[in-house]
Amino acid sequence: MNAALSLVPAPVLPSVQQLLQQVHPQRLVGAVVLVREHGVLRHASATGLADRESSMPMRRDQLFRLASVSKPLLATVILRLVAEGALDLDAPVQRWLPQFRPALADGRTPSISLRQLLSHSSGLGYRFLEADADGPYARAGVSDGMDANPLTLAENVRRIAQVPLLFEPGSQWLYSLGVDVAGAVAEAATGETLQALFARLLAVPLGLRDTTFATTDYARLATPYVTGTPQPQRLQEGDVVAPFEGTVDIEYSPARATDASRFPSAGAGLVGSADDVMAVLEALRDVQASQVLPPALAAEMGTPQLGEQGPPEPAGWGFGLGFAVLHDAAASGTPQHVGTWRWGGAYGHSWFVDPARGLSVVALTNTLYEGMDGAFVDELRDAVYADLEAVR
């Protein structure tokens, strides 16, 4: 346990703590929840179990497979390269990856920009979002970055380029492997590995202690579980689980988190702690203090890139560069303010930042998919706002 985390008693919000007591063990095996308001820690808890079978309690410094919580972190790395002049948001990525020329159905090979890759408007898709298990990405042998596929990053990007684009880049929104491709662009532009870039541009400047593409600290890695009846079931190596109705299964490799030979998936591959994730979100929320990005680039991250186009659920959300951005709070039915950022991760995580409220919330759990898009996500959000409003 990090000594700095163990010496000071952690504050708790009563409604949040009550909710956590209610969700264990039937809905969530374990969770780490952090809340900061204007930079001040208002809630920090580690509840439930990191490993149910050995009765190992959850700890605040537990490590988790971050899945798509990786996206805002690597998007920040890429935007720091833009700030350095090594990359350009709007130049064709073929400048750095000349062989990356996926074609449209009519045979044209349009240029694709980093902006489109990071905002999921490039025309790419995800293998798990295909209509059936034998879709084009599956036939091409593409990895979503969650399985045990032994491909290199370069080979995965080559295979992605063989699949026809689903639409003209910049015309629509579709969740995609764009951030993985952006990671390959960053490597090609700098000659550095993605792990080295992450360390140089984010981990060292922000003092991140725990986040990497593969950990050797096996004892701190939370065991993953899948929502089930009467209680969540342990996720086994190679298990396939559909994240949403109407999608094909994601193949999971929990062992990937400890295997440095697997390619670094910028969209899904990081392992880290709740405090590290919070440190990045807080740095983005207050870039004047952190200087992690120039203010103009940070503003681009939090600007819906396709207007109101974005994730189909919930309503009212567009998409910036690395995360969803709220443009209509009434349509979403949320207490969050317009301009709020949010996203999650398939292993059971959610987070949001409400800049207008000075509020950042991170919830890393070891239970998919309840911790990502189950009722817990909105229940936690509402409990946080209720507690903070009660003391204003």
Which residues does the annotation mark as catalytic?
68
C-alpha 54/C-alpha 44 separation (Å) is 24
Strand pairing report for 367-368 and 225-226: parallel
Residue bearing tokens 């096996």 = 218
Return the HEC string of the chain: CCHHHHHCCCCCCHHHHHHHHHHCCCCCCEEEEEEEECCEEEEEEEEEEEECCCCEECCCCCEEECHHHHHHHHHHHHHHHHHHCCCCCCCEHHHCCCCCCCCCCCCCCCCCEHHHHHCCCCCCCCHHHCCCCCCHHHHCCCCCCCCCCCCCHHHHHHHHHHCCCCCCCCCCCCCCCHHHHHHHHHHHHHCCCHHHHHHHHHHHHHCCCCCECCCCCHHHECCCEECCCCCCEECCCCCEECCCCCCCCEECCHHHHHCCCCCCCCCCCCEECHHHHHHHHHHHHCHHHHCCCCHHHHHHHCCCCCCCCCCCCCCCEEECCCCEEECCHHHHCCCCCCCCEEEEECCCEEEEEEHHHCEEEEEEECEECHHHHCHHHHHHHHHHHHHHHHCC
On the CB side of 250, how many CA atoms lie within 13 Å of its CA? 23
| Integer Cα distance of 117 and 261 in angstroms | 25
Phi, psi of 36 (to 5 degrees): -125, 135
